[in-house]
Amino acid sequence: MTKLHHLPSRVQAQAAHLAKLRGFCENGQLHDAMAAAQTMFHHQLPISSTILYCLIQGCIQNRDLDTGKRLYSLALDARRNLLDSFLGCHFIHMFSLCGSLYEASSVFDRIHEPSVYCWSAIIQANVKHGQNQESIYLYQKMHRKSACITPDSHVFVAILKACSNACEVMQGQFIHGNIVELSFQCDVVITNALIDMYHRCGSLQDAFRMFCQSSKRDLITWNSMISGFANHKRCKEAYSLMEQMRCNGVEPNLVTWNSVLSGYAQNGDYKKALEILEQMQQAKIEPDCFTFTSLLKACGAKGAFSEGKWIHTQLIRSGIRFDLQISNALVDMYVKCGRLEDACKETHKLSSCDVVTWTSMIVGYTQKGHGEHSLELFNEMKLKDMQPGKVAYSAALKACAGLGLRGIEEGRSIHDAIIKHGFDEDTVLGSSIIDLYAKCGKLEDAHFVFNRL
């Protein structure tokens, strides 16, 4: 006779349901596990935090929002609408990962005395869903409760990311002060977050000061500072720091090399970027999609066709799968180098094109004086339910202007679309519209648009 037979019948039933539920969870049978939990509730058997946590993890793994909502409702019913911080924190995390910030916020609002883990969870949820200002507001609200709530490293990392995303350097400085007050400044993860926040908010000097003052540095510390220099077009400093990194016994990884290379590429120095690629390969670091995209953009910006063609060959040899980002970079490079035939070949290889692909081709045909073909592509793009951006509208207007009186009706139609989509106050588009009307002899219309800008 097993030990289970010596237990009271109610406890036996609870143990049996729990074993069944755990089995369902372990095998990924979320709906069966949920049904088992509902059966337990129906038979008035207690549903423990362990059971609820197991089901929460199942909802997260399956990204199942609907089942998550049913589970949350069951938890409230089973606990008479009372929710402790432990479960509250996990429900916030679950709803955030399942895509519902609204549900996550509703859970947080229900918790009577949220712990630091709950505050951390709701701040992270808001950052994940792009609500950076709300994250900052929540941190300030938590800070006012500092007598009973002390932020931990997770809170600081999350809120610094919110400041970084929102370019709120003054808020970041205030939080930096809190970090020092609570003696978290020696935490390397927080140091990395501070460096990242300062350089992304445009305060490179403060970022470098943090880097120099840091007592501990890991690979992320070095990469964050190198990225900061590269993004601010301080390429020599980025390269020098990578050399210093090596001297300190830290080997640059793909992220390091890409940061330095993209810095030179963004600066228009494609020759130096190609030198970095060569050094990178000598260091046995394989380039990725980002590496090749950066190089193609640099070559396109300078009209360096031979180098761009060579990179295309290297890309093929690398065996990297051509995704839409890489293909668009190739199309854009060939267009900017005036090689429309090569650009067309690349578009024909694509199973589908996006707005970027269409825009590159529209711009290319306009620049080559093929206005009618440019407008054909522009109209075809709209027929595919793709909304043109400002660059596409500007190129289409220039194509109309190049056709003279033949393009006036099409130009007026584009002008109407620009007004409809709220782009009429854009000065670049305004200039293109004025140029169109002037070249077509419609001076009154040109004067009217000029006065509206």
DSSP labels for 307-350?
HHHHHHHHHHHHT----HHHHHHHHHHHHHTT-HHHHHHHHHH-
Whether residue 163 lies inside any domain: the answer is: no
Whether residue 47 lies inside any domain: the answer is: yes
Whether residue 309 lies inside any domain: the answer is: no
Given this model, what pLDDT does residue 4 score? 46
Total domains in the chain come to 1
Given this model, what pLDDT does residue 440 score? 85
CA distance 164 to 347: 37
Whether residue 345 lies inside any domain: the answer is: no
Whether residue 436 lies inside any domain: the answer is: no
Whether residue 61 lies inside any domain: the answer is: yes
Given this model, what pLDDT does residue 7 score? 46
Whether residue 250 lies inside any domain: the answer is: no
Give tens-digit pLDDT for 276-315. Answer: 999 999 999 999 999 999 999 999 999 999 999 999 999 9
Kindly tell me the sign of the dihedral angle through the C-alpha atoms of 347, 353, 357, 358. Answer: positive
Closest to 178 in 3D by CA, of 165, 196, 160 = 160
Percent of the chain with pLDDT over 70: 96
Give tens-digit pLDDT for 409-439. Answer: 998 999 999 999 888 888 989 899 898 888 8
Q: How many other C-beta atoms lie within 10 A of the C-beta of residue 235? A: 23
Whether residue 14 lies inside any domain: the answer is: yes
Closest to 205 in 3D by CA, of 229, 187, 186, 181 = 229
List, run by run, the mean pLDDT of 10-residue segments along the chain (453 residues). Answer: 51 72 80 86 82 90 93 89 87 96 95 91 96 96 81 94 96 95 91 96 96 93 97 95 95 96 92 94 94 94 94 93 92 94 90 91 92 92 91 93 87 90 87 88 84 78
CA distance 218 to 189: 9
Q: Which domain holds residue 96?
A: 1-114
Number of H helices, E strands in the chain: 26, 0
Given this model, what pLDDT does residue 79 score? 81
Query: In this structure, what CATH number is given to the domain that contains residue 61?
Result: 1.25.40
Q: Residue 351 has what DSSP assignment?
A: S
Given this model, what pLDDT does residue 106 score? 95
- Chain centroid to Cα 28, Å, comes to 29
8 A C-beta contact, residue 92 and residue 101: no
